[in-house]
Amino acid sequence: MSGLKVMIFAPVGEMGESHEKLQIAGCELVLGEASWHNPQGDNEDQMCRMAQGAVALKGTSIRSSPISRKIIETSPDLRIVAKYTIGVDDVDVAAATENGVLVTHSPTESNWGGVAEGTMTMMLAALKKTRERDQAMKQGLWRDSKLQGTYLGRRQDGWPGITVGIIGLGRIGSRLADLLMPWRVRVIACDPHVELAEFVHHNVERVDLETLLATSDVVTLHVTLTTETRHMIRAEHFAKMKPTALFINTARGWCVSEDDLFDAVDKNIIAGAAIDVFEDEPLDPQSPILGLGDKVLLSPHMISSNRGSGILPGVEWATRSVLSALAGEVPDNVFNKDVIPKWRKRFSGSNILNCR
């Protein structure tokens, strides 16, 4: 291979413009089998072979073989692992940092804004029983009391409105709070990593997790998957929620114990759930969650996939990041910021683009 090797471990469709920019800059591309539509692709050994001699890795989410230490250490010249998505849970960030490799992500508004809008949509569909009413009409039924929805906002006649509890007041959680503001609901949130001023700015009441779980009519999860948040919501947490509560997860599947969530809904510990993300994706066709009927509202991890947005702006951002790193410059979206001093010692000012 005569050019700079860039391995795209999980391409997104026919990314002609992105690929062309890299090729014009002197890169030769190696494409993996995974994709946005199907995150299952090459195994670790196959990816190691493809990554040999690579100066950059980039792509969307991959589940078959995350970007492991073994893959990262395959190429001593590797400068960057660039993700098209916000999440980097499928990259061994610690290994990248130890090896002086940048990990970048793409927190584009089209992505996180789409998640917030999708969460709002799932909440409304579940509370207003939109699907159930549609199904009843198509079955020839009319005005069943079971089709009664929930009025969200407080009213002048004394109706207090519901309480929405947001776990994680980052980009997505705060946008959701903003979307809820005109609905006149009480919004509470828990996030130990966010300053009180952010809660005030988004008209959100700061509470601890136990208060949020016990108080909320809707609990919605918006955290990054880390060792701290892995299975942060389990049976003990569902037990603290109202039996009438709705639980929403549009963050990452592994933030919740899927077995405990199934039990909580199946045994009426909580009233229902809306889920866009799962521990293993695609979801197993034999998953018991699929048998919960209208008690769950399911989505195939595409809540941010919308016309005019979706993942494409993230592809552009990741491409710019790769080109910056290969030019010896630090991109503007580095996730593992601790590695920057070490990376600069290795690569700062070393422009290898168009040098062949």
| Coil, helix or strand at residue 183 | helix
Strands of 17-158 (E only): list them.
27-31, 56-59, 80-83, 102-104
Distance in angstroms (rounded) separating the CA atoms of residues 209 and 186: 16
Extract the tokens encoding 344: 């600069």
CB-CB contact of 29 with 8 (8 Å): yes
Distance in angstroms (rounded) separating the CA atoms of residues 155 and 185: 10
Distance in angstroms (rounded) separating the CA atoms of residues 232 and 177: 22
The residue from 281, 316, 329, 346 that is catalytic is 281
Distance in angstroms (rounded) separating the CA atoms of residues 23 and 3: 9
CB-CB contact of 7 with 57 (8 Å): yes
Helix (H), strand (E) at residue 203: none
Q: Is 105 an annotated catalytic residue? A: no
The residue from 19, 105, 175, 252 that is catalytic is 252
Q: Is 14 an annotated catalytic residue? A: no
The residue from 19, 105, 171, 301 that is catalytic is 301
Distance in angstroms (rounded) separating the CA atoms of residues 229 and 223: 7
Distance in angstroms (rounded) separating the CA atoms of residues 347 and 80: 11
Q: What is the CA radius of gyration of the chain?
A: 22
Bridge-based pairing state of the strands 27-31 and 80-83: unpaired
Is the four-CA dihedral 294, 296, 302, 305 of positive or negative sign? positive
Q: What is the secondary structure of 239-285 as a DSSP string?
A: TTS-TT-EEEE-S-GGGB-HHHHHHHHHTTSSSEEEES--SSSSPPT
Distances (CA, A) of 179 to 138, 164, 176, 295, 298: 32, 12, 5, 25, 22
Q: Is 98 an annotated catalytic residue? A: no
Distance in angstroms (rounded) separating the CA atoms of residues 82 and 93: 11
Q: In what order do the strands lie in the sheet with 56-59?
A: 27-31, 4-10, 56-59, 80-83, 102-104
Distance in angstroms (rounded) separating the CA atoms of residues 326 and 13: 24
Q: Return the active site residues.
A: 252, 281, 301
